[in-house]
Amino acid sequence: MFKQLLLWTLGTFIMLQAIQIKIPEPPKNINPAKEIQLPKEMMSTFKTSCYDCHSYQTKMPWYGHIFPMSLEVKSHIKEGRSAVNFQEWGNYDETKKQKIYKGIAKTINFQMPMPMYLSIHKEAKLTQKQRNKIKSWAKNHIKEEY
Ligand code: HEC
């Protein structure tokens, strides 16, 4: 009885793995010149804290492939990249860039990086000083006419 239940559970778990979200394939040729240009220190902060969801350089954790975590992880990457991909920066027009500067100034204190992500990725945590720096960088780029 117990063995049957175990097999059934295992079988279900394996079948559920078929439920997957597809992240669009990154382009074959990523143009490095299109990447956002930031002061060195801030660039490394972005790479540690934002690039998993906002670039093609995602470091996929092992559980990112396993249902049900995969749904959460992959949808964040998919939606994150479509909201802003810092490796596509040079392809954005000024309207889109302005939206992102405003978005950064607005989200950097609480929403970004996503709190759930931070609970697992301690290395991505930002100090208040780093948040302030990013916020004032973003604010400096905001143009009122947009
Ligand atoms: C775990 C994934 C993840 C990480 C890490 C992450 N983001 Fe996001 N980000 C998302 C998702 C998903 C969205 C789109 C949904 C939303 O707006 O909540 C988003 C949206 C945004 C937006 C648009 C928000 C708006 O309201 O206009 C900005 C700007 C942004 N992120 C900046 C950042 C910055 C800067 C970092 C690093 C300091 C960061 N994100 C780290 C997942 C992430």
SS (H, E, C) 3-72: HHHHHHHHHHHHHHCCCCCCCCCCCCCCCHHHCCCCCHHHHHHHHHHCHHHHCCCCCCCHHHHCCCHHHH
Structure tokens at 51: 């690039």
Q: Which of 114, 116, 136, 146 to mutate to test the pocket of ligand 1 (most atoms within 8 A of CB)?
A: 114
pLDDT at 146: 84
Please report, in angstroms and rounded to a whole number, the separation of the first and last CA atoms in the chain: 67
CB atoms within 10 A of CB 80: 21
pTM of the shown model: 0.94
pLDDT at 62: 95
Domain ranges of the chain: 34-141
Q: Is the CB of 38 under 6 A from ligand 1?
A: no
Spatial contact of 78 and 21, defined as CB atoms under 8 Å apart = yes
Cα of 107 from ligand 1 centre, angstroms: 8
Q: Is the CB of 36 under 6 A from ligand 1?
A: no
Question: Closest ligand 1 atom to the C-alpha of 51?
Answer: 5
**123 exposure class (CB count in 10 Å sphere: 0-12, 13-18, 19+):** exposed
Q: Which of 92, 102, 107 to mutate to test the pocket of ligand 1 (most atoms within 8 A of CB)?
A: 107
pLDDT at 102: 97
**Tens of each residue's pLDDT in the chain, 146 residues:** 899 999 999 999 999 999 999 999 999 999 999 999 999 999 999 999 999 999 999 999 999 999 999 999 999 999 999 999 999 999 999 999 999 999 999 999 999 999 999 999 999 999 999 999 999 999 999 998 88
pLDDT at 44: 97
With b for 16 or more beta-carbon neighbours within 10 A and e for fewer, the 42-65 pattern comes to eeebbebbbbbbbbeebeeeeebe
Cα–Cα distance between 58 and 131 in angstroms, integer? 22
From residue 59, give the alpha-carbon distance in Å to each of 12, 55, 81, 124. Answer: 28, 10, 14, 12
